[in-house]
């Protein structure tokens, strides 16, 4: 029975470590997804008060400074 203690302890430790490491990674924004500040204000029915977000919105883009992602530009291959 002593021979199983060490492998079992290592297995439990590896499982716990992998779950902790995975929980700390924030979910990255998807391409074309607005920043968190813009989402929060949109849910409240308001426009985002940040000047950088307002400037990006005028250009029909998401503010990358606040963490938003824009869809990649398609390559024009002929």
Query: Is the predicted pLDDT of residue 22 greater than 70, yes or no?
Result: no
Q: What is the average per-residue pLDDT within 4-27?
A: 75
Quote the CA–CA distance of 7 and 21 in Å, as a whole number.
Answer: 21
Higher pLDDT, 1 or 4: 4
- Tell me which residue has tokens 């203690």: 5
User: Is 45 a domain residue?
Assistant: yes
Q: What is the average per-residue pLDDT within 28-52?
A: 83
Predicted confidence at residue 31, as pLDDT, reads 61
Predicted confidence at residue 33, as pLDDT, reads 83
Domains held by the chain: number: 1
User: Is 46 a domain residue?
Assistant: yes
SS3 68: coil
Domain holding 39, by residue range, is 29-72
User: Is 18 a domain residue?
Assistant: no
Query: Is the predicted pLDDT of residue 13 greater than 60, yes or no?
Result: yes
User: Is 63 a domain residue?
Assistant: yes
Quote the CA–CA distance of 37 and 67 in Å, as a whole number.
Answer: 9
Q: What is the average per-residue pLDDT within 29-50?
A: 83
User: Is 37 a domain residue?
Assistant: yes
């Amino acid at each position: 029975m002593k021979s199983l203690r060490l492998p079992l302890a290592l297995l439990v430790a590896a499982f716990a470590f992998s779950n902790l490491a995975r929980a700390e990674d924030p979910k990255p924004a998807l391409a074309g997804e607005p920043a968190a500040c813009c989402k929060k204000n949109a849910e409240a029915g308001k426009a985002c008060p940040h000047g950088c977000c307002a400037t990006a919105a005028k250009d029909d883009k998401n503010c990358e400074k606040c963490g938003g992602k824009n869809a990649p530009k398609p390559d024009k291959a002929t």
